[in-house]
Chain A
Amino acid sequence: MSREFALRSCAFIVALICGVFFSAWLALCIMIVLFIRYAAWEALFVALALDLVWFVPLESGGLLHTVPFIAVIAAAALWLLEPVRAEILH
C-alpha cells in the first residue's frame, strides 16, 4: 500500500466522519488541503454525500439553500488548484 493511497484513504474517511458528525466546513477544509497535493477525485464523493445528507432546497432561503455548494466548492477547488498541484509535483 503506497503512502499516497494510505493518506488519501485516511483523508477520505476523516472528511466523511467530520462532515456527517461534526462539521461540514471542517470536511471541506480537509478536502481543500488534500486537493493542494493530490487530484483526489474521491473527495468529490464525500462532498456529494454531504450535500445529499444536509442539503434541502428552500424557496425562501436565498442562494445558500438553492445550490448544493459543498459539492460545487469541492469541484471548483479540485479544478482551480491544478496549477498549484503541478507546481508542487514538478
Chain B
Amino acid sequence: MAALLAIDISTGGILRAPLRAMLVRVSSGMNAIGIRIGESGYFASKRSLARENARLEAEIAQLNERDAARDSLERENEMLRALTRVVGSGAGISAPVRSSLGASPYGTFLVGVGRAEGVSEGNIVLTGAGFVVGTVAEVHEHTAAIAMLFAPGITIEALVGDIPAAVEGQGGGNARAQIPRAAIVTEGMTVSAPGYGGRHIGVVGKIDSDAARSEQTAYISLPINLSSLMFVYIAPL
C-alpha cells in the first residue's frame, strides 16, 4: 500500500488521475440517471396513485414533473447567470462540481474541467456571488482537485472588515479568527483576503466575546449552502 502511494506521489499522480477521472464519470452518470428518474415521474405517480383517481393522477404527475423540471432548470439557470456576472470581471471558466463537498476529510472536491479546458494549478475557485471557495490544487486532463480555503488545518491571512486576522479553516465552509476585543466586529461583516486579490472569502456569522479574555472569536462561513453548489467559476489569480 505504501509502495503504491509512493509510486503515485513520485510519478505525479499515475494512479490518482485515472481514479479521479473515473469518479467524475461515475458522478456525471449518476447525475444523469437521477435526472432521468425525476423526469420519468415514477415516484410522483406512486404517491399520487394513493390519493387521486387514475386520470387525475396522471395529469397531476405530468404537471408536477414539468414543474420540477422547470424549477431545476431555473435553479441551474440562476447559478449560471450568477457565474456570468463573475465572468464579466475577468478571464476564466465555469466548471461543474463533480463530487460531494463534504466527503473529503482534507477539504477537497473535484470539478469536471482540467488542463484541456485551460485550468492550471493556483487558479482561484469562485462561487456565483464572487466568494473565493478554494484554489486549484491538482490538475488532470479533464478533472481538477480543488483545495477549499476553509479546509481543516489551513490558515490564511485575511481582513475581517478592515481588521487583519489569521483565519483558521474548520472544514465545511467554516472558519474562525481571533480578533482583539477592542476591535469592533459585527455579524454579517465580510471577510476578504489580500492574498486572493482582495476578494471576499466569507461572512462573519457569530462573535464569541469573553470579558476575561483579550480576544474575541469570530466565526466565519461562506454565505452559501455548499451542498447546493453545482457550478463554480475558475479564474486566474
Binding site for B on A (CB under 8 A): 19-25, 44-45, 47-49, 51-58, 60-65, 68-71, 75
| Closest A residue, CB atoms, query B138 | A56
Q: Smallest Cβ distance from A50 to chain B, in angstroms?
A: 9
Give the residue of B19, B103, B152 whose beta carbon is less than 8 angstroms from that of A24: B103
Binding site for A on B (CB under 8 A): 1, 4-5, 8-9, 15-16, 19-20, 23, 99-100, 102-106, 108, 110, 137-138, 145, 147, 151-155
Q: How far is the CA of A44 from the CA of B1 in the complex (A)?
A: 8
Additional pairs, 17, CB under 8 Å, beyond known A58-B137, A64-B152, A65-B151: A21-B103, A22-B103, A23-B102, A23-B103, A24-B104, A48-B1, A52-B8, A52-B16, A52-B19, A52-B20, A55-B108, A57-B9, A65-B147, A65-B153, A69-B105, A71-B5, A75-B1
Q: How far is the CA of A65 from the CA of B145 in the complex (A)?
A: 14
B15 touches A52 (CB 8 A): yes
Q: Smallest Cβ distance from B134 to chain A, in angstroms?
A: 10
B103 touches A19 (CB 8 A): yes
Q: Which residues of B contact A70 (CB under 8 A)?
A: 105
What are 13 A-B pairs with beta-carbon distances under 8 A? A22-B102, A23-B102, A24-B104, A49-B19, A52-B15, A53-B20, A56-B147, A60-B155, A62-B154, A65-B154, A68-B5, A71-B5, A75-B1
A21 touches B20 (CB 8 A): no
- Which among B99, B102, B103 has the greatest number of chain A C-beta atoms within 10 A? B103
